[in-house]
A and B are shown apart, each in its own frame.
Chain A
């Protein structure tokens, strides 16, 4: 499989009380054509900022982003248009993702027009994409305005807008967290279908490992701006290598009768974490912290084929 999107050393920092604080520090990732990558972590871990940098919505402080081998890190304005046509975003809040004054049709025409698809072909594109997101018959929906639609219907329109101009990559930031429970599965299935039938690559951002597992074969776990572990989703959940991943997996509630109610392998709270300086950012909450965790900042290293983690315990603990 060919590499579609590659990022190396992505960093976003801002100055706070005279010190550089990293919202995202040294994140590298590769997404192959047609593959799905999950980025999971708690709020403030930098997952959304990472996604925004990958989509060139925010400029990285350092690092490079390559799309199909071409460096797009410094492109702006019109020069970015070909990339925009290929990389689309599905928003978290469908109630805010569509211009309230635009009809559904106008919202769908917007990308077609901007990406230079001839006006004569618009109707066919719209019809096809509405069918793909199951808003049928299309004519019944196109002249409505966002406030006339439910959350699930709006998210279908948002997905349609992302798909209409033929992207190669979809980034979905918490695509169902604002939706009613009974319609979530429908949206997740649409995303999965679109990927399968169009061969799209996808990046899912979520705090919900269960959702990530359903839609992504590979997953990256972020903690305070850094990637602490990455690997195939099922393996990462079954045998977490990093203590933070282990805590995250153990904390996810399951809708089953048998429950694991053992205390979480984690101490303190996120607010105890060191904001800057050397050492592992997780050490203050890690039940296995050692003296060297305070001094050495560890890069990701191989745990098993295709699996990497940033922890001194790697290979020792299980």
Chain B
């Protein structure tokens, strides 16, 4: 049973040129007590999804359809005040740059107390204890609660914003590119903190990232997004070893590995489509070397394959053959 289940979600931004469907018919299931990686390139809608779930879409953005079931309630139909009451207590957020979560002119203690007392209704004495415990939990010295954010390094700020997100013991935490701005060593340390906390607190977490390697390191499940839709999802091991969607196959050959092994990287030619006027069929079809006429005509639904592994591709039946072809540079060069 999923903790969060998104069905046919649509998020639309108003723009001068017309409505932009940043998320367009998205299905996603996030099981309890696990980390789900949401991976995709910039503009694919992965950050928009996180913001829509948290109710912090920018002015021009609206949820224009679909359903978001979380702990038995449909968030889309919930009243604004009920949503506010639930947010941060049941579901919280870690942004890419911790400076967006932290107030630069307030001591961390003040910010922690504000969340605990005002949102959580915790007494002042308990808030004191809880703040110290939270700081210890994320690997920060509780003494430093007296500091201002600018006295922290980037990694420490990200730890502090994790502590803030966990303050009210939510069941779901959405982390939007939490390690993208960090150096590799700090990135690894922050990912370790997230993994450790997830296991200890039995949290569910959505980790939004563009980096498949971060997903491989930190996540249990992965959902691959392309142009506003999920194209493939499943357990990390299954998706990495037997990708079913040509886009995922392409991605696995598009990165160098620190320990070598590849002779040559295989780029995915072309660029993602404009969401202002997306192609009618499968959105990856214009870049896909395996596209057939059917792919350009209609959009494939996300269907379950073997062992909890879903894919939205008309040619999913040929995945084993396509996977071998996808490893060859010539395949992609001709698309």
Does A15 belong to the interface (CB within 8 Å)?
Answer: no
Does B254 belong to the interface (CB within 8 Å)?
Answer: yes
A182 touching B183, Cβ below 8 Å: no
B211 touching A254, Cβ below 8 Å: no
Distance in angstroms from B237 CB to nearest chain A CB is 5
Q: Chain A contacts of B20 at CB under 8 A?
A: none
With most chain B CB atoms within 10 A of its CB, the pick from A189, A247, A255 is A255
Interface string of B240-274 (1 = CB under 8 A from A): 11000000001111111111101011111101100
Q: Chain A contacts of B187 at CB under 8 A?
A: 251, 253
Residues 242-277 of A contacting B (Cβ, < 8 Å): 247-257, 259, 261, 263-264, 266, 269-271
Q: Chain B contacts of A270 at CB under 8 A?
A: 153, 183, 186
A185 touching B266, Cβ below 8 Å: yes
B255 touching A207, Cβ below 8 Å: no
Contact of B188 among A153, A185, A257, A264 (CB under 8 A): A264
Q: Which of A103-111, A209-217, A303-311 participates in binding chain B?
A: A209-217
B260 touching A42, Cβ below 8 Å: no
Can you name the residue of chain B whose Cβ is closest to the Cβ of A192? B264
A257 touching B240, Cβ below 8 Å: yes
B260 touching A234, Cβ below 8 Å: yes
With most chain A CB atoms within 10 A of its CB, the pick from B192, B214, B236, B269 is B269
B212 touching A252, Cβ below 8 Å: no
Q: Chain A contacts of B153 at CB under 8 A?
A: 269-271
19 example contacts (A-B, Cβ-Cβ < 8 A) are as follows A183-B267, A184-B254, A184-B255, A185-B266, A185-B268, A189-B265, A207-B183, A210-B257, A214-B265, A234-B260, A248-B184, A251-B187, A252-B258, A253-B187, A253-B216, A255-B213, A264-B185, A264-B189, A269-B156
Q: Chain A contacts of B156 at CB under 8 A?
A: 269, 271
Does A123 belong to the interface (CB within 8 Å)?
Answer: no
Does B210 belong to the interface (CB within 8 Å)?
Answer: yes
- The number of chain B residues with a CB under 8 A from chain A is 47
Does A300 belong to the interface (CB within 8 Å)?
Answer: no
Q: Chain B contacts of A214 at CB under 8 A?
A: 256, 262, 265
Does B298 belong to the interface (CB within 8 Å)?
Answer: no
A252 touching B254, Cβ below 8 Å: no
Can you name the residue of chain A whose Cβ is closest to the Cβ of B269? A186
Can you name the residue of chain A whose Cβ is closest to the Cβ of B181? A43
Can you name the residue of chain B whose Cβ is closest to the Cβ of A253? B213
Q: Given that A237-B259, A251-B187, A253-B217 are known contacts, is A183 also in contact with B271, CB under 8 Å in the complex?
A: yes
Q: Chain A contacts of B106 at CB under 8 A?
A: none
Using A152-B271, A255-B252 as known contacts, list a sample of 6 further A-B pairs with CB atoms less than 8 Å apart, ordered by residue number in A.
A181-B211, A185-B253, A185-B268, A208-B184, A248-B185, A264-B189
Q: Chain B contacts of A150 at CB under 8 A?
A: 271
Q: Chain A contacts of B210 at CB under 8 A?
A: 180-181
Closest 9 CB pairs of A and B: A186-B267, A214-B256, A253-B213, A185-B267, A185-B265, A42-B183, A210-B258, A251-B188, A180-B41
With most chain A CB atoms within 10 A of its CB, the pick from B187, B217, B236, B240 is B217
